[in-house]
Amino acid sequence: MSKFGTLEDRVHRKSLLSKKTTAENCIDFFKTGMDLGWSGFTPAGYPKAVPVALADHVEKNNLQGKLKFNLFIGASVGAETENRWASLDMIDRRWPYQTGKDIAKGINEGRIRMGDKHLSLFAQDLGYGFYTPKIDIAIIEVSEILEDGSLVPTSSCGVIGEILMIAEKIIVEVNTGQPSFRGMHDCIVPLTPPNRQPFLISKASDRIGTESFACDPDKIIAVVESKYRDKGRAFTDADATSEAIASHILDFFSAEVKAGRLPENLLPLQSGVGSIANAVVGGLANGPFKNLTVYTEVLQDTMLDLFDSGKLNHASSCSLSLSETPGFPRFFDNWDKYADKITLRPLSLANAPEPIRRLGCIAMNTPVEFDIYAHANSTLVGGTRMINGLGGSGDFLRNGYLKIMHSPSVRPSKTDPTGITCVVPKAPHVDHTEHDLDVLVTEQGLADLRGLAPKDRAQKIIDKCAHPDYKPILQEYFDMAKEECLSKGIGHEPQLFDRCFKMQQNLAQNGTMKIKNWDIKVDLCE
């Protein structure tokens, strides 16, 4: 028996106890080529017992590449599940976002077919049947099964509702290794057009749904007890660079309040993951702003610090993505302090454009790089190598009140002491366009781009955001591009297509983005 109760305590529809079984006994349900839907969003609320048992089965019986599945999950999940599946060649298709060295390697080597999509669109399109008309087997981690058969999620909502809409069979993992999250969720499954209804959310704490997702009990083929905790990402400490970026952003907020463009308690905050996000939230915990709210998709450990500071009133999210330690133990040990201040919503609601725009969210996310005209690349290194995926950043950056992207001006490199510039003449892949972004920030400074024409934006980005070692190189390119394009009457947004990727090409060939000059010879076919 777990200290958090038994399986029998958590399953209130007692007839389903007849379907109680082990994860190992579920293996025979699975056939190669099946479309599978999992709960989970980031390493939070994902099934563990059955996926781990399947991986053990494949490894023990040398079935690598012979038992492969198509995975549809709200976002990334724990490395001990999807990344291990990738290492065992168990994944054919994977939508829409993933994390792990082995799964990224499989994608970039062409062994795993991944599709990328704005997360709010993925949720609704999955329910519409755009990716597959049916999910063969859904594996859902829950806190409780209620009397009506509905499912109470654990630490995330993801796309549970949409998966249940099109699932033919369902395996439920009841997690008794942690407290029940009942009462923390705002569950809703949007109707399909033309019957779709508005999301009437006007503040982060509003709820418009129910505490559980409706589920047809007749579709449940197995109830498995799990005691596995989420393998949340390790907490990323802030460094000098991220703290400098955070300082620029907090100064910007203060100026916006003084100018009357933000209220004294700001507007609902959306923050991505990583050291910069942690530094911004840490700065808010120590800053002058009070009565804050958060409307985001992922809550990290630093949000607990913001609650503890007394400055955060409520946080809405798709997942509680805390670290395995100390995050989740800290949360569970202080359940009464945090639980009623957090609302967990499905992806289709947490990332929906309508409430993001109505609430006036302040969106803050980190790209791989951005160019001098404010196009940002969040997904593909060098324009071709997938990292994780777009995630939900675009949902907020297209619809927020203020759209901020923050990045170091350079990233470490083994071959250049300065590193690789994150400010480039032209982004080799564009996830967020110049039309979506208001503010770009590096440790060098903050560029407020609102109301600026393209050439004015470019100069400000070079002046404020570029590293000193790269600033003269970028300035030379920009001046050259302006001179040539304006002389031809094509200079609204000057680019030289024979040169704009020379820094990236030089990195690939010579290990540095510090080019000696912008000269280039291009032999064109006659």
Whole-number Cα distances in Å, 232 to 228, 302, 327: 12, 14, 8
For 210, how many CA atoms within 13 A lie in the half-sphere containing its CB?
Answer: 13
Query: How far apart are alpha carbons 298 and 315 in whole angstroms?
Result: 10
Instruction: Mark whether 297 is an active-site residue.
Output: yes
Phi and psi at residue 113, to the nearest 5° = -90, 105
Here the tokens at position 166 are: 């099109």
Q: Which of 82, 144, 225, 297 is catalytic?
A: 297
Q: For residue 397, which amino acid is it?
A: L
First and final C-alpha spacing in the chain: 78
Query: How far apart are alpha carbons 396 and 352 in whole angstroms?
Result: 9
* CA-derived radius of gyration, the chain: 24
| 8 A C-beta contact, residue 84 and residue 48 | no
Cα 201–Cα 203–Cα 209 angle in degrees, nearest 5:
40
Helices (H), 361-501: 393-397, 454-465, 471-487
Query: How far apart are alpha carbons 498 and 425 in whole angstroms?
Result: 12
Q: Is the dihedral of CA 23, 28, 31, 37 positive or negative?
A: negative
For 134, how many CA atoms within 13 A lie in the half-sphere containing its CB?
Answer: 8
Q: Is 156 exposed, middle or buried (0-12, 13-18, 19+ CB in 10 A)?
A: buried
Residues 6+ apart with CB under 8 A from 517: none
Catalytic residues: 297
